[in-house]
Structure 1
Amino acid sequence: MAALPKLDVVIGNNFGHLPMFIGAEKGFFEKHGVDAKMLVVDTGTDMVNAMHDGRAQVGDMSTTTYLKAVHAGEPFKVIGLIMNDATKDNCDEPLAIVTKKGRGIEAGKLSDLKGKRIGLARGQTSDEYFKMVLRRAKMKYEELIIENIWSQFGLAPALAEGKVDAVVSWEPYVTQVLTQVPDSYLVIRGGQHMSYVMVATAHGPTVESKPSVVKSIAAGLAASSHFTRNNRDEAVEIFAKWVPGTDVAIGKKAVKHISFDPRLSPNVLRAFENAEDEVLMNTLKGAARLDVPSLFRPQFMTEVQKEHPEYFADLPKLK
C-alpha cells in the first residue's frame, strides 16, 4: 500500500484544539488519507512561529492570533473551525476572570478590578478578551497592573499565593483555578464580548499545491469533532495522554463549556469581522483593514459535509 501524504500540524495544549488530538489518537486523519503529525505547543505565538519557520503546514490558532499573523504578512488561509459555535457570532464561554475571597473584587462587579494586579498571558486571547471586557465596562487597561504569566499552569499558584488579585484564562485552566484555589470564584465568565473561535489554518502555498491533502485534514477534523461532541469524557482522557499535568476530573467539567463545530457560516464570518474591528482598535491601531472573506477557503469543509453528512447530523441547523 502506498504511503499516505504527510503533513505537520501545530496545535495548542488546551481544549480549543481537542478534536485534533482525537483525530491523531483515533486515526481519523489516516482514515481520510493523510498522515498528520502533531506538534504540541503552549501559545498562539508558538503556533504562528512553527508555521512561519516551515515546521508545520497546518496550524490551529485563535481568531485574534490568526488575524494578527495575517497582518504581519503570513499567508495563512482558514480551512475549517475547531472550537466554534456556527450558530453564534459571540461565543466566549470558555474565557473567564477568576478571583478569590479577600481581594476586594465582587462577583460580576468589574469596576472592582481597577488598580488590581491581574495575571494573564500578554498578547494571547485572554489578554484580548480582557481588553474587550474593560472597554465595555468603560475602564482603561492602564488602570490595572498586568502580571505576564505565560504558562497557564502558573495561574492557580499565583492567585493562591496572593501574587495577583485575579487571573484571566481559557478552559480547562479556568476550571483548574476554580478547583485548585481555595475560596476562588468567577468575576465573569464569557459575557458575549468576543467570539473565541479556534481556526484550522493552512499555509497558502500548501492549499494551492496540495488541495486533496488539505481536504483530508478537513475531513479528519469533521470526523474528530463529531467524535469529541459525542464522547467528551473519553476525549479528555485522550487529551491527558498528550498533555502531561492535565487533571482529568477538572477537564471533564471544563469541556462542558466548549462547542466543537467545524462549519463555516455567516455568523463565523461576522465573528471574524468583529474580531478584526477589535484587533484594529486594541492592538494594531492604524493598520489597514484585512479583506476578511478572502482569507477563507470554505470549499474543503463544504465538500466534506456533502460526502459525510453523518459527521454533521447532530449539529443544530444553520438558519
Structure 2
Amino acid sequence: MFGARTLVAILFGVAAILSSAAASAQQLRVAVTSAAEGAPFFAGMERGIFSKLGLDLKVDVLPSGVEIVNALASGQADVGLFGTFPFLTAVARGVPLVLIGHTWNSAVKNPQSEVLSIIARADSGVPAGDLTKLKGKKIGVTRGAGGEPYIVGLLKQSGLAVEDVTLVNTAPANMATALANKDVDVVTAWEPWPSAALTKVRGSYKVIYGGCQSCYDAGTIVTTKAAIADKAKALETFILGYAQAQAWTRANRDEAAKISTRWIPGMDNETMTLSIKNIPLDVRLSKNTVEGFAQYSIPLLAREKRIPQAFDPAPAVDNRFAAAAQKNDPSAFADLPPIPADKRLP
C-alpha cells in the first residue's frame, strides 16, 4: 500500500503533469458562424481532433461574418470561419485579415455559390427556376453578409436590378419565421438556414440552389497579420486539424450533422442532415480562389458600393498553412480531386 506521503507525492506529480500539458497546449480563440459548413469544425471539436494535435481552442459561435470580422479586428479572436464577402469587405477597408483556408469550397471550381440558395413560400408567385418572377417581391436577406451579393448577382443575370425588389434585412435564424409569417416572399442565405426554411415552413420550396454565374463565395478560414506573427505554428496545426476534420465529415455526413445540432442554437437533425448533404468541403487554396475574388467577388462589391474600390486580393491570401497540411497528412485529401498544375498556388 502507498503511505500518505507517497500518495501526496503522486497527486502532486499528476497535477504537475496536467498543468504542464495545459501550459504546453497551443491556444487559439476561434469565432465561427452558425452555418452548415462549420460541421467539420464542430466534429473536430467533439471528436478531439484538434486537442490530439495539441491545440486548446476557445470557441465563440456568432450569427454571421460581420460579428466575426469585428472580433478579429478587436483582437478578441485569432481565427474566424465565415464567408467570402465579409472577409473581402473588411480587407478593402483596411482590416489586416488574411485568408489561410476554406471551410466550404471546391479548389478546382470558379465560380461557385453552392452553399447559398433561395427558398420561397407556397403562395409567393415565384416558380422554381424562374428568377424573373422575383420582380416586386420582398426578399429576406442578411445585409452585409454573403446572401446579399448572391441575390444581387442572381438578379443581374436575370435582367433585374436591386431596385426591382425589396431587400428586407433578416437575421439568419429568423429566415424561416419571416417566411412563415409572410413578412417576406422568399429568403436567401447560406446553409443551414435555407434548409431550415424548407423543413419548418409548410409548402416552402427551393427556387434555385447556387447558380450564380458571377459569384465566387467560398467559406473562409481567416486570421490576422498579428496572429500570423505570434502564433504561426498554432495556425499551421489548426489547418491540419481542420483538414482532418473535413475528411472525417465527408465520410460521415449524417453523424457530423448530429454533432452540429449541439453547436448551432435551435438547429434540428433533419435540417442539418439536409443542409450538409452536398456541401463541398475542401480546405485547400488555389488560384481559383484568388481569381474568383478578382473576377467576381470584388467587382460585384465595388459595383454595389459595398467597398470603396476594387483591389488585388493576392496579398490577403497565404497558402503556407494549407500547403503544410497537404504535405503533413496527404490522407486527409486523398478523396479530393487534384488541383491542376496551372491552378496551384506556391
- Deviation of residue 156 (structure 1)? 1.6
Q: Which residue of 1 aligns with 2:67?
A: 46
Larger deviation, residues 119-128 vs 268-277: 268-277
Q: Say if 1:149 and 1:155, in contact at 8 Å, map to a contact too.
A: yes
- Partner Cα separation in structure 1 for residue 208 and residue 150 of structure 2: 11
Amino acid at match of 2:321: F
Amino acid at match of 1:189: Y
Structure 2 equivalent of residue 136 of structure 1: 157
Within the candidate set 267, 270, 277, 2:299 is matched to 277
| Separation of aligned partners in 2, 1:210 and 1:80 | 16
Q: Tell me what 2:210 maps to.
A: 190
SS of 1:242's equivalent? coil
Query: What is the Cα deviation at residue 5 of structure 1?
Result: 2.1
User: For the residues of structure 2 that align with 1:133 and 1:155, how far apart are their CA atoms?
Assistant: 19
- Give 1:82 shift: 1.1
Quote the RMSD (CA, aligned, Å): 1.5
Question: Which residue number in structure 1 is paired with residue 173 of structure 2?
Answer: 153
* Aligned-partner Cα distance in 1 for 2:221–2:333: 17
Q: Please state how far the C-alpha of 1:50 moved relative to its aligned partner.
A: 0.9
2:189 alignment partner AA: S
**1:173-226: CA deviations, max 9, x gaps?**
112212222222222211143222111111101112221111111111111111
Aligned residue for 1:173?
193
Give the AA of the match of 2:191: E
Whether the 8 Å CA contact 1:9–1:57 is kept in 2: the answer is yes
Letter in 1 for 2:148: D
CA distance in 2, matches of 1:244, 1:293: 35
Please give the secondary structure, in 1, of the residue aligned with 2:81: strand
Rg: which structure is higher? 2
Task: Tell whether 2:264 aligns with 1:243.
Answer: yes
Is 1:221 the counterpart of 2:242 in the alignment?
yes
**Contact 1:237–1:248 (CA under 8 A) maintained in structure 2:** yes
Q: 1:154 & 1:244 partners in 2: Cα distance?
A: 12
Q: Quick one: which of 74, 77, 80 aligns to 1:59?
A: 80
Give the TM-score, by structure 2 length: 0.88
Note if contact 2:260-2:272 (Cα within 8 Å) is conserved in structure 1. Answer: no
**Alignment check: 8 A CA contact 2:116 2:210 kept:** yes
TM-score by length of structure 1 reads 0.95
Aligned: 1:24 with 2:63: no
CA contact (8 A) 2:37 2:276 kept: no
- Residue 30 of structure 1, CA deviation: 2.1
Question: What 5-or-longer segments of structure 1 have no aligned partner?
Answer: none
Q: Distance in 1 between matches of 2:148 and 2:65?
A: 12
For 1:102 and 1:36, locate their aligned partners in 2 and report how far apart those are by CA, in whole Å.
46
Contact residue 118 and residue 165 of structure 1 kept, 8 A: yes
Letter in 2 for 1:277: P
Mapped contact 1:240–1:248 kept (Cα < 8 A): yes
User: Could you tell me which residue of structure 2 aligns to residue 200 of structure 1?
Assistant: 221
Partner residue in 2 for 1:88:
109
Q: Distance in 1 between matches of 2:212 and 2:156?
A: 13
Kindly state the Cα deviation for residue 255 of structure 1 after the two structures are TM-superposed. 0.7
Q: 1:182 & 1:80 partners in 2: Cα distance?
A: 37
Identity of aligned residues (%): 33
Q: Summarize the Cα distance change of 1:141–1:288 in structure 2 as closer, same or farther, 3 Å threshold.
A: closer
Residues 24 and 38 in structure 1, CA contact (< 8 A), matched pair in contact too = no
Indicate yes or no: 2:335 matched with 1:314: yes
- Runs of 4+ with deviation above 6 angstroms: none
**Any conservation in 2 of the 1:121–1:148 contact (CA below 8 Å)?**
yes
Q: Give the letter for the 1:218 counterpart.
A: I
